[in-house]
Amino acid sequence: MKMKLREVYSALKIQGDNIADVEITGVCFDSRKAKKGDLFFPLQGQRDGHEFINSAIANGVSATVWQSNHDIPNDKIPYVVVKNVSNAFEILAKYYLNKVNPQVVAVTGSNGKTTTKDMIAKVLSTSNNVAKTPQNFNNEIGVPFTILNMPTNTEVLVVEMGMDRPGQIDHLSDIAHPDISVITMIGEAHIEFFGTRDKIADAKMEITNHLQEDGSFVFNGDEPLLLERAQKVEQDKLTFGNHSSNDLYATKIEAGKTTTKFTTNLWPELEFEIPMMGEYNVNNALAALLVGQISHIKPEAMQKALRELFVTENRTEWLKAKNGADILSDVYNSNPTAAIEVLNSLKDIKTAGRKLIVLGDMLELGEASEKLHESLADHIDADSFEKVYLVGDYMKYLRDKLGDKYAATDLLWYGKDQLPELITDLEKELKPNDTLLLKASHGIHLENVLHELV
């Protein structure tokens, strides 16, 4: 970003006298990360952002925004007074997006959106200056922040969009007006707030509401809910998935512990490789390849890009325990689809010793929690996983469902407040050639277990 403070006034349609000749090179809303050249937006969170303006000033911001219903600011640095800070944040983002005018790729989905965003950005960066959502900044704050911090020479902007309520993605897509909209899949994440997968699909489809007239819609063609709703989309449509009915699908997959190789129907002579485990990540790569094809990226360039991929937030991570055992860690996010995918991937991986799993509650599943936790039982058996450790109130349902598959000594349950006992038991049981999976929603705090084991 690069604009004079006078241009900020103009973009926000605010009249001002004696506007300071200050250059703005970025925006921030976290005073701890403030730096010279930043325009500070005191957004409302759990606390009023105006409380942190002095901290932002101390860290060097060049100017700050104030909301008009607050006390008149001091004049330590230039300021812009607005009626609503959040609205001003979005208005400035729209203005700057129109000014830079990059191609915009918007990505959403119940699983895989951060990985897919990174894959798309890597593929498109072979021929373009690309900016992308940092980490998973994918809400009403994250999307404008991403836009406002892209460099002035950005040719493609890849924006991740998340949701926890109907209408949220419509709002985000209205800010970004994508040229390409991507939906990775429809799962059960946040079903507590939506009630059914149908309503989740409706909410995800909002990413097409503000798709450019000459834009493209890329989506998972294995999902009937998307196929049905896509019929109403008039723009070009391309599908990816496992079935041969899709425009792009994998013809062969070779899954490894840290890499996955695959071939496709469109480029049968090329073998693609991604530096991550799991056949489910192949679909994310297929989505990226379709976006690359739309953007006229050569297949060989896309092949090289995926092989060299570095993922922003690869939550599924291989680590070593203190005694040398392998640990597959995914302790910050879990839902039925993601849990089943990682369980099935782990089954296919060859290991020297036993496979043990620790599964914690999957949160935000609402009234469907009992059945969805029970559904994991179809993917867990003693031939694949010798010991099962379950944590949390909802995992009692899975324990009861697995009771006829495991002896009591191999199927153990712990309350959320019994992590110390779990740690003690794992340290006693885990052998150097074992492989241990840790997966749960962040609210279970299995990261504390991980910290003690590694």
Across 11-32, average pLDDT: 94
pLDDT band at 333 (very low <50, low <70, confident <90, very high): confident
At which residue do the structure tokens 């009861």 appear? 400
pLDDT in tens, 345-359: 999 898 999 999 999
The pLDDT tens digits of the residues spanning 431-443 come to: 999 999 999 999 9
pLDDT of residue 312: 58
Provide the token pair at 178: 């994508």
Distance CA 376, CA 323 (A): 29
Sequence-ordered alpha helix ranges (H) in 126-167 = 142-148
Element (H, E) at 192: helix 191-194
Average pLDDT over residues 113-135: 96
Q: Nearest CA to 342 among 380, 313, 373, 309?
A: 380
pLDDT at 305: 98
Task: Give yes or no for a contact between 326 and 351, defined as CB atoms under 8 angstroms apart.
Answer: yes
Is 114 annotated as belonging to a binding site?
yes
* Residue found by looking up tokens 């105006």 in the block: 50
SS3 384: coil
**By C-alpha distance, which of 38, 100, 98, 104 is closest to 65?**
38
Q: CA-CA distance, 264 to 22, in Å (whole number)?
A: 52
- 327 or 315, greater pLDDT: 327
Model confidence pLDDT, tens digit, residues 72-85: 777 789 999 999 99
Across 176-180, 346-350, 356-360, 403-407, least confident range: 346-350
Largest CA distance in the chain: 78
For 65, phi then psi, to 5°, come to: -95, 145
Of all helices (H) and strands (E), which one includes residue 171? helix 168-176
153 a known binding residue? no
Helices (H), 46-112: 53-58, 85-100
Q: What pLDDT, on the 0 to 100 scale, is given for residue 71?
A: 87
State the pLDDT confidence band at 401, using cuts at 50, 70 and 90. Answer: very high
Backbone angles phi, psi at 106, to 5 degrees: -110, 135
Of all residues in the chain, what percent carry a pLDDT higher than 70? 99
- The token duo for 18 is 């004696």
Residues forming CATH 3.90.190.20 domain(s) in the chain: 317-453
d(CA 130, CA 135): 15
284-305 average pLDDT score: 98
The pLDDT value recorded for residue 310 is 84
Q: How does DSSP classify residue 345?
A: H
pLDDT-above-90 percentage for the chain: 89
CA-CA-CA-CA dihedral for 11, 172, 274, 238, to nearest 10:
-110
Higher pLDDT, 310 or 166: 166
Range(s) within the chain of domains with CATH label 3.40.1390.10: 3-87
Q: Convert the pLDDT of each residue in 192-239 to its tens digit.
A: 788 899 999 999 999 999 999 999 999 999 999 999 999 999 999 999
Please indicate if the annotation marks 245 as binding a ligand: no
Annotated binding residue at 31? no
Q: Which CATH superfamily is domain 3-87 in?
A: MurE/MurF, N-terminal domain (3.40.1390.10)
Burial environment of residue 48 by CB neighbours within 10 A (0 to 12, 13 to 18, 19 or more)? middle
DSSP class of residue 72? P
pLDDT at residue 450, rounded to an integer: 97
110 has binding-site annotation = yes
Looking at this protein, which amino acid is placed at residue 357? Answer: I
CB 50 within 8 A of CB 70: yes
Cα–Cα distance for residue pair 398/389, rounded to 1 Å: 11
pLDDT confidence of residue 317:
86
pLDDT tens-place string over residues 138-153: 999 999 999 999 999 9
Quick one: pLDDT at residue 17?
85
Output phi, psi for 364, to 5 deg.
65, 35
Phi, then psi, of 422 in degrees rounded to 5: -60, -45
Quick one: pLDDT at residue 10?
A: 97
> Looking at residue 313, what is its pLDDT?
53
Q: Is the pLDDT of residue 406 over 90?
A: yes
CATH class of this structure's domain 102-307: alpha beta
115 a known binding residue?
yes
262/37 Cα distance (integer angstroms): 45
> Which H or E run contains 452?
helix 447-453
Of 32-46, 188-202, 242-256, 378-392, the range with the lowest mean pLDDT is 188-202
Tell me the C-alpha distance between 359 and 372, whole Å. Answer: 13
Query: Which residue intervals of the chain bear CATH 3.40.1190.10?
Result: 102-307
Assess whether pLDDT exceeds 90 at residue 105: yes
Q: Which pLDDT does position 332 carry in this prediction?
A: 86
Which class in CATH covers the domain with range 317-453?
A: alpha beta
Q: In what order do the strands lie in the sheet with 387-391?
A: 317-320, 326-330, 435-439, 355-360, 387-391, 411-414
